[in-house]
Amino acid sequence: MTEDERIQPAPAAFKADVWAYFGFKTKEGSYDVDKSHAVCKLCNARVKYSGNTTNLRSHVARHHDNVALQANVKRVDPAQRTIQEVNFSKLPATSTRATKITQSVLSFICKDMRPLSVVENEGFRKMITTLEPRYTIPSRQHITDIALPKLYGQVKATVLDSLSSAERVALTCDAWTSRATESYVTLTAHHIDDQWNLKSHVLQTRAMRDSHTGEHIAALLNEALTEWGLDGKDPVVVTDNASNMTVTARLAGLTHIQCFAHSLNLASQRALKIQSVAQLLGRVRRVTAFFRRSTLASEQLKQKQRLLQLPSHRLITDVITRWNSSYEMIERFLEQQPAICAALLSAEVRRSEKDIFTLSESDITCAEEVLRALKPMKDATLVMSEESMPTLSLIAPLHAKLVMGAEESPDDTQTVKDIKAAIAQDLGKRYNERETLYMASAVDPRFKDLPFLSEAEARENVPEEADQPPFEDGPTSIPEPPLKRPRTSCALADLLGATYATGDNTAPKSADDAAAAEIKRFKDETPLPLTGNPLSWWRDHEQEYPQLFRVAKCFLCIPGTSVSAERVFSSAGDIVNAQRSVLKAGHVDQLVFLHKNLEIKK
């Protein structure tokens, strides 16, 4: 037997390719295989074998480099996916990961008011691909026709569920026109939930192709009440003072509240049209416009501001539709008046500009008087523009305070007298039907004593509904809320602080106030400070007044202004912009709805 014949092949269990060149010899005088050393079939060299093929591969590489050894190639199951395929294969559109990313893209479009075509933009696609290479960005058509309506349906169901638990719903309604001259009517809803949180929702933004008559708007409003299930919620509608809105509320059979912010604007605009005030505004407007159009004068103004250590604020030019912009224009002018005079008298400006002008001392004095006369109106407008709490309870005390503050004083100049007379005359003819306003103020722990009314008027407007509970169900148990740090000041406190004391008031005004024990206990409570939140107070005291709290919830959910609906206009203006002026009315409705109602979980 030759030397090669005595080399036994490796067992079948040894699968490595290198075993094609190695085997084992049998022990002398025995048929047992010696596995301590492998024998090379090419050169009969003995190579130590320790249970792995490292030594064998090294021997072949060192002594037999002409042998084509495929020892490093592994046999791979064709059905097995590689790491490359696992890491970079596209996500199925229905997978959890892809669904979450699509939802995030939609949230980005709606909350940040981006165009639907953003999914086609090169930069956006590059960013998404970098963040998740496996995600396939949906087409604009898919976003518009499938994803957006689906998300709208989901959020609408959430809003419907929220409204279904409301005891009463207040609506605000207003119309606006887009860049494409399309007319829309936006409807918002407000109610108080079980935790005494004010909930506000944009319900719909519908195209209004008919004339804006009371009949047409009333028909649209009735359709909305049915669609959103609000017919049985005793709805109240808050609108501006336009006559068509008054007709709308009457035809729809709804309690109508005039927007107090709009009433303040009308009264203030009337005061601004007084001849002496209008002339002053014209002169101030001329100066501010000069600095806005002259680069040299604007630069000189900045230098003088730094030199005089004044705030580096830009001058303001008023807008005809916002009376408070005229107030702010005068206020900013007086703040910057030293720097303005210095800039106008600088040599550089005088050499380059022929039309140099400034205001006289009498003009400055007149401007200061106008600000003092209009300051209460400015504070009231600021209070009514807050969206964080219901404001119907504020109308009656603010209205009374403003009318009382418009009474003439012996020290008033003729301009101030004219301003006060215009305000008093305009506000005096509004809110003749005040029962709802008094009721809202009576259940507000800040104004519960109705100090702005005479004693007889207060007795007539006490919320006696507490004697006969309007609801059958009992009060709901609510956990104690966390303590919050009270605000030290606010515009409301600045305006009404001297009139509405916050100390103890345990003595009832008259014997009639004790007619109902619950009302008496409520009236004997220490008044809530003007900086307090009436909803938080009722959340803490709900169980103490099982009947009265329901009355409070029905009246304190009503906003005293339609500002919330008007705020939608600015959002809608960003949605229906020049790039999307042909956006369909249905998509405008969905985008505005989602922008206001979609909640992003952090």
Percent of the chain topping pLDDT 90: 40
Section 200-222 average pLDDT: 90
How far apart (Å, rounded) are the C-alpha atoms in residues 148 and 347? 61
Q: What is the 3-state secondary structure (H, E, C) of 505-537?
A: CCCCCCHHHHCCHHHHHHHHCCCCCCCCCHHHH
Identity of the amino acid at 87: N
Section 198-217 average pLDDT: 90
Section 582-600 average pLDDT: 84
Map tokens 């696992």 to a residue. 86
How far apart (Å, rounded) are the C-alpha atoms in residues 395 and 378? 15
pLDDT for position 410: 87
Q: What is the mean pLDDT of the chain?
A: 82
Section 471-497 average pLDDT: 48
Token reading at 449: 């004593």
Section 46-61 average pLDDT: 88
For residue 341, pLDDT over 50 is answered with yes
Going by C-alpha positions, the residue among 261, 251, 256 that lies closest to residue 219 is: 251
Identity of the amino acid at 37: H
Name the residue ranges covered by the structural domains of the chain: 7-63, 265-381+394-428, 435-556
Section 238-265 average pLDDT: 91
The number of beta carbons lying within 10 Å of the beta carbon of residue 601 is: 4
pLDDT for position 508: 47
pLDDT for position 171: 93
Give residues with Cβ within 8 angstroms of 285, minimum separation 6: 317, 318, 329
DSSP per residue, 12-62: TT---GGGGGEEEEEPTTSS-EEEEEEEETTT--EEE-SSSSHHHHHHHHH
- Comparing 579 with 127, the larger pLDDT belongs to 127
For residue 518, pLDDT over 70 is answered with yes
The number of beta carbons lying within 10 Å of the beta carbon of residue 85 is: 9
pLDDT band at 352 (very low <50, low <70, confident <90, very high): low
For 155-187, the pLDDT digits (tens) are: 999 999 999 999 999 999 888 877 777 888 889
Token reading at 469: 């509970």
Say if residues 221 and 245 touch (Cβ distance below 8 Å): no
pLDDT for position 271: 94
pLDDT for position 72: 46
- Comparing 231 with 359, the larger pLDDT belongs to 231
Q: What does the DSSP 8-state code read for residue 145? A: I
Q: What is the 3-state secondary structure (H, E, C) of 132-197?
A: CCCCCCCCHHHHHHHHHHHHHHHHHHHHHHHHHCCCCCEEEEEEEECCCCCEEEEEEEEEECCCCC
Say if residues 257 and 237 touch (Cβ distance below 8 Å): yes
Section 491-518 average pLDDT: 56
For residue 330, pLDDT over 80 is answered with yes
323-335 vs 337-344: helix axis angle to the nearest 10? 70
pLDDT band at 578 (very low <50, low <70, confident <90, very high): very low
How far apart (Å, rounded) are the C-alpha atoms in residues 194 and 577? 39
